Amino acid sequence: MPPKLDTHIQSLPATIPFVAPERISRETGKAFVARIGANEGRFGCSPLAIEAMQKAAIDNVGVYGDPEAYAVRETIGSALGVSIDEITIGSGIDGLLGHIVRIFSAPGDDILTSLGAYPTFNYHVAAYGRQLHTVPYRNDYEDLDGLVEVAKNLRPAILYLANPDNPMGSWWPAEKIDQFIDAISEDTLIILDEAYGETAPEGTLPALNCDKPNVLRMRTFSKAYGLAGLRCGYAIGHRDLIAQFEKIRDHFGVNIMALVAADAAFKDQAWLQKAVALNQAATARISQIALTHGFIPLPTATNFVAIDCGQGADFAKQILVSLADHGIFIRKPMTPILDRCIRVSAGNSSELDAFEAAMNMIMKDLK
Ligand SMILES: *Cc1c(COP(=O)(O)O)cnc(C)c1O
2 has pLDDT over 90: no
Nearest atom in ligand 1 to 92's CA: 7
Q: What is the mean pLDDT of the chain?
A: 97
Tell me the pLDDT tens digit for each residue of 79-132: 999 999 999 999 999 999 999 999 999 999 999 999 999 999 999 999 999 999
| pLDDT for residue 159 | 98
Question: Which of 46, 22, 89 is CA-nearest to residue 234?
Answer: 89
Task: Give percent above pLDDT 90 in the chain.
Answer: 95
- Please tell me the distance from the alpha carbon of residue 214 to that of residue 230, in angstroms, as a whole number: 28
| Ligand 1 site-directed mutation target among 16, 220, 227, 302, most atoms within 8 Å of CB | 220
| Interatomic CA distance for residues 186 and 178, integer angstroms | 13
When pLDDT is averaged across residues 36-45 and rounded to a whole number, the result is: 97
The model's pTM is 0.97
The response to whether residue 92 sits with its C-beta less than 6 Å from ligand 1 reads: yes
CA 229 – CA 307 distance, rounded (Å): 26
Q: Residue 18 and residue 305: Cα distance in Å, rounded?
A: 18
β-pair type (215-220, 189-193): parallel
DSSP conformation letters of 116-136: TS-HHHHHHHHHTT-EEEEEE
Q: How do residues 224-270 score in pLDDT, each as one tens digit? A: 999 999 999 999 999 999 999 999 999 999 999 999 999 999 999 99
Q: Band the pLDDT of 185: cuts 50, 70, 90.
A: very high
Residue 228 CB less than 6 A away from ligand 1: yes
Indicate the pLDDT class of residue 367, thresholds 50, 70 and 90: low
Position 66: which residue type? D
Query: What mean pLDDT comes out for the span 210-225?
Result: 98
Please, what is the angle between helix 70-80 and helix 256-267, to 10°?
20
Which pLDDT does position 203 carry in this prediction?
98
List the residue whose alpha carbon is closest to atom 15 of ligand 1: 166
Which of 166, 230, 234, 305 gets mutated to test ligand 1 (max ligand atoms within 8 A of its CB)?
166
Distance, in Å, from the CA atom of 102 to the CA atom of 64, rounded to the nearest integer, reads 26
Cβ contact 44:224 at 8 Å: no
Task: Identify the H or E element spanning 316.
Answer: helix 313-325
pLDDT digits (tens, 9 = 90+) for 122-177: 999 999 999 999 999 999 999 999 999 999 999 999 999 999 999 999 999 999 99
C-alpha 101/C-alpha 156 separation (Å) is 12
The answer to whether 122 touches 132, Cβ cutoff 8 Å, is yes
User: Residue 131: what pLDDT?
Assistant: 98
What single-letter amino acid sits at 59?
D
* Predicted confidence band of residue 46 (pLDDT cuts 50, 70, 90): very high
Is the minimum distance from the CB of 118 to ligand 1 under 6 angstroms?
yes
Q: Is the pLDDT of residue 55 over 80?
A: yes
Give the rounded percent of residues in the chain with a pLDDT score beyond 70. Answer: 100
Give the atom of ligand 1 at the shortest distance from the alpha carbon of 222.
8
| H/E segment holding residue 252 | none
Cα(200)–Cα(185) distance, rounded to whole angstroms?
27
Rounded average pLDDT over 183-210: 98
The answer to whether residues 266 and 77 touch, using CB atoms and an 8 Å cutoff, is no
